[in-house]
Structure 1
Amino acid sequence: MKSELEKFRVGKWVVTPKLNKMQHVSTSSVHVVTPKVMALLTTLIAYRNNPLSVESLAQLVWPDRVVSDNSVYQAVAMLRKVLNEDGDIDYIERISSQGYRLSTEIEVSNFDTPLAETKPTLQPLLLIGTAVLVAVVFLAIHALNTKKQIDSKSDPHFEAISLAEHLAKSKLPERITKAKQIYTEVLEINPEHPFAMSGLCNTYMALAIYGSFPESQVDALCRPLLSKALELDGNNPDVLTSLARLEALSRRFDKAKMYFDRSLSLSNDSPMLWHWYGRFHREKNNLDEALNAHLKAFRLAPNNPTVLRGLAYTYLNRRDLKNARKYFERSVEIAPHVKHIALYQLDFYLLNMQRAREYRVWFEKHMTEYSRVYPLHKLSHILFLLSTGNLEEAIQKSEEVQLTQQSETSFNLYVRAGLRWYSEDKEGAIELLRQRYLLAPEDNHYAMPYIMGLYQTRQYSTAKRLFEKHFKEVSTLNLQVNEHIGVYLLYALILKKVDERSKAQEIRALISAFLNGPTKLDIRYQPFWYVLNEKPEKLTTSLFELLDSGWLPDANDNIFAVEMYSELTDDVEIRDMWLKKLKTMQATVN
């Protein structure tokens, strides 16, 4: 019997549960799986003729903790990937509305039984032997699991905890609040229930996202709960993940990494673990590692709005706006009620009248609390004030945060340059952008605002030289026009100013060829296009159509936007009319 426990055969695989090892009989291919994947296999064998629901599998494979459905799906997928390497048959069947089971075509036997080429007719004696084998294997499941904590059979609060976890998944504040109440009631009865402690902390975090709970209070409330839970259960991945999250948000990255490493050594099937691990790398500007982690989180929970936003922001940091918007829009489709959406959307889309009004409403409700956790947003708000024509208030806010006394980060220098430009200190603005550029002189993202500033201050030759250094594919006309029209138009305008009209005409022809199909030029680019084509009447029309579309200058994107548009026309009267209409629109936002 001892040998039966140590090794047995499933189809064409020899399984060694104690080592979490699976070896193919014919190819000798070897896989070492996680303890939970092995526990899943032995569970399916033990119940081989009865489909097991996702809920049943969760209770049988994870008897010591409450897990999400995604944990089960991930384990099934991993086990299938190994078993189906055989290629002849799908080892794990999914029975509609019932669950999963090991295929009835798969033979299960002890290791000494010869491998049949075809499915044998099981004799009564063999059936008895196999039944004994799988019974013993099933008894070994508990030995394969990690340290046992509170299981569903012995925990009198199992049903309450399960319900609370289910409610918290809904993303609706009233249901999360109910989950919070349940966890609190469990802790009143049993103050040392680690799952209730971790769950209660998770509800605080969720209510800070979806409800009115102050995010600045999450750390103070969660840390004691999680510290106690960690004492009771030092190998709980959820507790470790939550602690890592708190440390990462507090920018204590060394401690955060310690908790992440411990959690990842215990589990790799938690979408929130991978999400926060990605956020950790994003904060440290390790964008490749961040993307890898966020993609793992997405594969585990493709409809979790928090996971989707994390992936969207990672793509945004990598300057992949197409994918950034794709996943942000998916998150909004799934959870349109997230309280900070009016703020988030300004990171993915340029400012317009509607977004400005929505942000104003958000600002009145949430800015004070939000800025306690994310003080850097006070600088973003200064740019919003500049965008909506509130220069005096922007200057006041900059003095309140002592902007000039802060560290000269790239964002600090950019905001200060914006204030200088809107205050008509053009030389001061360009000098600050030059300093910012020198922080990372090989980074195109740092170069573009400086190039635009040089253009606006008529330093055309220097602007051209820097442009051609940083955007070689554009300057050699080797970059596809698609999604790069704005950069091509800027280069063409610079070329016209230095009297290189022939190359400017090449760019015009390149864009014309692109627009010769169904593609319609974005309304933001039309005024520049008509200047390049020397069509003043269409230029005037396009400038006012831009305002009619609800456009507003977005200082977060380009502090020179007002001048770049208004100075396209040489007609002073038209320019003044355009600026007056813009100011009227800005006033309605305020």
Structure 2
Amino acid sequence: MNSTIESIRVGKWVVIPRLNKIQLASSANVHVVTPKVMALLTTLIENRNSPLSVDELAQRVWPDRVVSDNSVYQAVAMLRKVLNEESDIDYIERISGQGYRLSTEIDVFNLDSNVVDKKKKTHAYLYISTLFALLIVLLIIYVFGQRQQNDLKSDPHFEAISLAEHLTKSKLPERITKAKQIYTEVLEGSPEHVVAMSGLCNTHMALAIYGSLPESQVDALCRPLLFKALELDSNNADVLTSLARLETLSRKFDQAKVYFEQALSLSNESPMLWHWYGRFHREKNNLDKALDAHLKAFRLAPNNPTVLRGLAYTYLNRRDLKNARKYFERSVEIAPHAKHIALYQLDFYLLNEQRAKAYKVWYERHMTEYSRVYPLHKLSHILFLLSTGNLEEAIQKSEEIQITRQNVTSFNLYVRAGLKWYQQDKQGAIGLLKQRYLLAPEDNHYAMPYIMGLYQTRQYSAAKQLFEKHFRSVSSLNRNVNEHVGVYLLYAMILKKLEQGSKVQEIRALIADHLNGSTKLDIRYQPFWYSLNEEPEQLKTSLFKLLDSGWLPDTNDNIFAIEMHSELIDEVELRDMWLNMLNTTQADLQ
């Protein structure tokens, strides 16, 4: 590499070859690597358009020595560990049959001082222009805001309405009930008070979340109020938002769209408008638009628990579990008394004894009313019954809802497959999972249960073929291990059954490098890791520790969880002991 170059930008990193330093551009985080690791990086930079084989890397990085392939693997692993820090992409790709190269998704360029100065000046001009435009916008908002405030203050019910709005925001049932009383009293004296009509509807919605009002009654309570309010003021954004919400929950999307478009033409500053607009897009599976809307709602109301839950579920639908849990936990911290939390948490976390007990309490109190608004949850409950070992009741519930006569959706097929598997109809279960997969054969989410089913029915070659089609970055060992340990372990288990030991060893090395240091493997993955490493004593210990932790086989996550764990134990007597302990735990929850 040109010795006059002081520093190079590689993605989000600044590389200083002369000092063996790799520094995060946006912070003071600095890694000092060994000369050979730096030599490996500069070699990959020089040849970033062409993959280099292990032999080529050995010759270029260690020109005066003969080194083993393992030395190259270790250097690549060390470099990956640094560059992949806080990143969703793998900076170093492994191209099957060709070797390693820098990812084509990252930018690489020399850092020249003149270019940097010009960029700084450009950024300064942009900053000043943006600031000026922002000041104008704020001035306009202020002027219109003052007009609106003056109109509100001229309202003879201003004090009562403002108090009711404040009480509704508290999220406490007794305060919301007081707000409801205030709005009702205002309407008794002024039956055409639009703000009071809208506010009264908001209290019904809030009491359905935080109080005892059944959600199924909200529509009937709100519609007359909102339609009358709309007749009196067709340009009230709050009224339009509430109507759009009702139509979204009723799945009348065309009418909901009309209300949303009209409301958005009047206001861009309502967090609940953006929240429900996001929910509208989420219901239609437009996840990019949903995320954009929910983020706008969050920026306007970062501590509103309803807004936070909407954002959390959007991230969950996008398979971004880290952010989904982050915003869900924030919503619980702010409003721990929301009545459906025991239900919600099963979407964000795997089932265990504690969550199962909380869900059973919720089920007794709220399931009848909840299922009137969200009938799909009856399918979810069948999976819960399977997870807690209650097959007989699961079959009974499936017959009550006539599960085989329902519309053939992905979730319907998944639940039916779970029932078949637990009834020991293995081929029937795999057939349903294949049918489900064919609904969306390009979707990884649809592929994974089918792959697991093929593995459990010993169709290892088919499982490998399908896995490598859908998870190329993992099968080529280019995916960051951090949040994909379980996927790597499954691939290694498939390869082990096919006696492809060389690649299994590469996966072991990747995971071992990930665990080098303070990183601890999740307890649910430990048995598979010890099985892969052929450590039988550690394997046995980890399986029983798993049960002691309160673990339950979450059928919503994995139909085959019981078999995948129990079949790791070769000794029949020990396996039966493990299964009996699990059965005892499940029986306590029935």
What range is the shorter-chain TM-score in?
0.7 to 0.9
TM-score (norm 1): 0.77
Q: Which residue of 1 aligns with 2:38?
A: none
Q: Which residue of 2 aligns with 1:341?
A: 341
User: Does 233-242 or 26-35 show the bigger shift?
Assistant: 26-35
Q: Which residue of 2 aligns with 1:518?
A: 518
Q: Which structure 2 residues correspond to residues 105-254 of structure 1 after superposition, within 5 A?
A: 151-153=152-154, 155-254=155-254
CA distance in 1, matches of 2:587, 2:451: 30
Amino acid corresponding to residue 273 of structure 2 in structure 1? L
Amino acid corresponding to residue 477 of structure 1 in structure 2? L
CA distance in 2, matches of 1:224, 1:467: 53
Deviation >2 Å, runs of 4+:
26-37
When residues 209 and 34 of structure 1 are mapped into structure 2, their CA distance, relative to the original with a 3 A threshold, is: farther
1:359 to partner: Cα distance: 0.2
CA distance in 2, matches of 1:262, 1:284: 19
Q: Which residue of 2 aligns with 1:443?
A: 443
User: What do residues 298-327 of structure 1 show as CA deviations (whole Å, max 9, x unaligned)?
Assistant: 000000000000000000000000000000
Q: Which residue of 1 aligns with 2:353?
A: 353
User: What do residues 175-224 of structure 1 show as CA deviations (whole Å, max 9, x unaligned)?
Assistant: 00000000011111111111000000000000000111110000001000
- Conservation of the 8 A alpha-carbon contact between 1:346 and 1:355: yes
Secondary structure in structure 2 of the residue aligned to 1:277: helix
User: What do residues 77-101 of structure 1 show as CA deviations (whole Å, max 9, x unaligned)?
Assistant: xxxxxxxxxxxxxxxxxxxxxxxxx
Q: Which structure 2 residues correspond to residues 314-393 of structure 1 after superposition, within 5 A?
A: 314-393=314-393
1:63 to partner: Cα distance: 3.1
Q: Which residue of 1 aligns with 2:140?
A: 38
CA distance in 1, matches of 2:566, 2:476: 29
Percentage identity across paired residues of the two chains: 78
When residues 36 and 503 of structure 1 are mapped into structure 2, their CA distance, relative to the original with a 3 A threshold, is: closer
CA distance in 2, matches of 1:29, 1:325: 35
1:35 to partner: Cα distance: 9.0
User: What do residues 138-166 of structure 1 show as CA deviations (whole Å, max 9, x unaligned)?
Assistant: xxxxxxxxxxxx6321x221111111001
CA distance in 2, matches of 1:29, 1:164: 37
2:581 paired with 1:581:
yes
Secondary structure in structure 1 of the residue aligned to 2:545: helix
Q: Which residue of 2 aligns with 1:559?
A: 559
- Conservation of the 8 A alpha-carbon contact between 1:36 and 1:61: no
Amino acid corresponding to residue 423 of structure 1 in structure 2? Q
CA distance in 1, matches of 2:542, 2:131: 66
1:513 to partner: Cα distance: 1.2
Q: Which residue of 2 aligns with 1:494?
A: 494
Amino acid corresponding to residue 151 of structure 1 in structure 2? L
When residues 319 and 397 of structure 1 are mapped into structure 2, their CA distance, relative to the original with a 3 A threshold, is: same
User: What do residues 113-136 of structure 1 show as CA deviations (whole Å, max 9, x unaligned)?
Assistant: xxxxxxxxxxxxxxxxxxxxxxxx
Candidates 145, 148, 158, aligned match of 1:62: 148
CA distance in 1, matches of 2:570, 2:349: 30
CA distance in 1, matches of 2:197, 2:509: 65
Amino acid corresponding to residue 211 of structure 2 in structure 1? G
Between Structure 1 and Structure 2, whose CA radius of gyration is higher?
1
Q: Which residue of 1 aligns with 2:305?
A: 305
1:424 to partner: Cα distance: 0.4
- Conservation of the 8 A alpha-carbon contact between 1:39 and 1:61: no
- Conservation of the 8 A alpha-carbon contact between 1:274 and 1:296: yes
Amino acid corresponding to residue 204 of structure 1 in structure 2? H
CA distance in 1, matches of 2:566, 2:141: 69
1:34 to partner: Cα distance: 9.5
Q: Which residue of 1 aligns with 2:463?
A: 463
Q: Which residue of 1 aligns with 2:59?
A: none
- Conservation of the 8 A alpha-carbon contact between 1:311 and 1:324: yes
1:537 to partner: Cα distance: 1.2
- Superposed CA RMSD in Å reads 1.8
TM-score (norm 2): 0.77
CA distance in 2, matches of 1:575, 1:29: 67
1:28 to partner: Cα distance: 13
CA distance in 1, matches of 2:543, 2:158: 64
Q: Which residue of 1 aligns with 2:536?
A: 536
Amino acid corresponding to residue 153 of structure 2 in structure 1? S
1:587 to partner: Cα distance: 1.2
Secondary structure in structure 1 of the residue aligned to 2:563: helix
CA distance in 2, matches of 1:529, 1:326: 27
Secondary structure in structure 2 of the residue aligned to 1:439: coil
1:505 to partner: Cα distance: 1.2
Secondary structure in structure 2 of the residue aligned to 1:404: helix
CA distance in 1, matches of 2:159, 2:552: 53
1:37 to partner: Cα distance: 4.7
Q: How many residues align?
A: 464
User: Does 488-497 or 27-36 show the bigger shift?
Assistant: 27-36
User: What do residues 1-60 of structure 1 show as CA deviations (whole Å, max 9, x unaligned)?
Assistant: xxxxxxxxxxxxxxxxxxxxxxxxx989995999985261x58xxxxxxxxxxxxxx6x3
Q: Which structure 2 residues correspond to residues 247-326 of structure 1 after superposition, within 5 A?
A: 247-326=247-326
CA distance in 2, matches of 1:191, 1:33: 41
When residues 528 and 28 of structure 1 are mapped into structure 2, their CA distance, relative to the original with a 3 A threshold, is: closer
CA distance in 1, matches of 2:257, 2:361: 37
CA distance in 2, matches of 1:353, 1:30: 57
Secondary structure in structure 1 of the residue aligned to 2:303: coil
When residues 513 and 407 of structure 1 are mapped into structure 2, their CA distance, relative to the original with a 3 A threshold, is: same
When residues 371 and 28 of structure 1 are mapped into structure 2, their CA distance, relative to the original with a 3 A threshold, is: closer
In structure 1, the gaps of 5 or more residues are 1-25, 44-57, 65-149
